[in-house]
Structure 1
């Protein structure tokens, strides 16, 4: 087959699967596949038997990396007053959103209302956040960082940045960008679905999605 035709066919297949991707993403994808073919393909996954289907392998891998990241986050945050990655996530959301509603913080971080409220209360008791009535809706509360919260988040952001650099130190920047591009759609789709899917049977959700 003519090389130009082969290249166009490859681009067509990639664009169909990833319509929002750029040409740069396409080349990152091809380079990643080339490195994968060159590397050994029979290296077993850590943690025992892996699922046979690639979908299961990918989700299992994502889950294990997330768990490892959370374990090392405990060490990275030690001594800051922030005890876990979820607390850091809440503080970062408050920092970026300035004065969000409590419910917005909780649901945006994919937490249940009760557990999210408990975590925000613990952060308030430590003096990192304060809450006040929402002037637009008296039934709601808004949250902002205290001076102590601003100081602690600066320390935590530096440590979590070092953690991220450590976890991904063997990945090329292009590969990281490609992973973000390929997985972002999954995160966006199911983050948008989740509030309406709560309480539904799995088979009902499956039929709607598929």
Structure 2
């Protein structure tokens, strides 16, 4: 096949699956897909799922658990007990004085467990809580001076952990992973509030039927 035609066909296939992709992302994707990488040791612990979808999600899940374990180790002595607390504080820091419920849902927590976590950090003097001036039923929260210091310290520690975990990936590979996975995160982060409490069969039918009509 003519090389120009082959390249055009490759671009067409990429564009179909990644309509928002640009030329730089296509080049990164094409080179990574055709590059052979040596796999050292067993691919995943335990049983290997027979479905490629399951294998992909198992790998992501194990990386997530490992990241949490190492991140929690990195947080020792900082004033935070777990990586989820850091996520909460960063959300508050970026939003300045967000509503309590918005912080909880932005971090994918149930209301009860998210409220408990925020209350524990309030008791440790990291955040303060007050009535929303526009809605007396709601609460707003913000960082205390101590909370600001803790966030600054933890940013450094969590950054070190992230660099350590992803150290074996090249910059292009990291960008490719983000490029391929960000759509899934964005899609289901938006859908999760609608799906909570519904039977899985209903959720599955809704998601899959939407995919077929897209």
- Per the TM superposition, whether the score is higher than 0.5 is yes
Q: Which residue of 1 aligns with 2:170?
A: 172
CA distance in 2, matches of 1:21, 1:8: 15
SS of the equivalent of 2:135 reads: coil
CA distance in 2, matches of 1:130, 1:47: 42
In the other structure, the counterpart of 1:21 is 21
Secondary structure of residue in 2 paired with 1:140: strand
Tell me by how many angstroms 1:45 deviates. 1.1
Partner of 1:61: 59
CA-based RMSD: 1.2
Q: Contact 2:44 / 2:59 at 8 angstroms: preserved in 1?
A: no
The alpha carbon displacement at 1:49 in A equals 2.0
Q: CA deviation at 1:39?
A: 2.6
- The number of equivalent residue pairs is 208
Question: Structure 1 stretch 162-171 or stretch 177-186: which is displaced more?
Answer: 177-186
Q: TM-score, normalised by structure 2?
A: 0.94
* Unmatched tracts of structure 2, length 5 or more: 209-214
Which structure 1 segments of 5+ residues have no match?
none
CA spacing shift, 1:2–1:43, aligned 2, 3 Å: farther
Runs of 4+ deviating beyond 2 Å: 38-44
Counterpart of 1:103 (choices 85, 101, 104) is 101
Within a 5 Å distance, the mapping from 1:38-187 to structure 2 comes to: 38-40=36-38, 44-187=42-185
The higher relative CO (CA closer than 8 Å, separation ≥ 6) is in 1
Deviation per CA, 1:50-94: give whole Å up to 9, x if none: 112111111000000000000001110000110000000000000
Alpha-carbon distance, 1:132 to partner: 0.7
TM superposition shift of 1:48: 2.1
Give the TM-score normalised by the residue count of structure 1.
0.96
Question: Equivalent residue for 1:189?
Answer: 187
1:5 aligns with 5
**d(CA) in 2 for partners of 1:63 and 1:40?**
21
State the Cα distance separating 1:199 from its structure 2 match. 1.4
CA–CA distance in structure 2, aligned partners of residues 131 and 40 of structure 1: 52
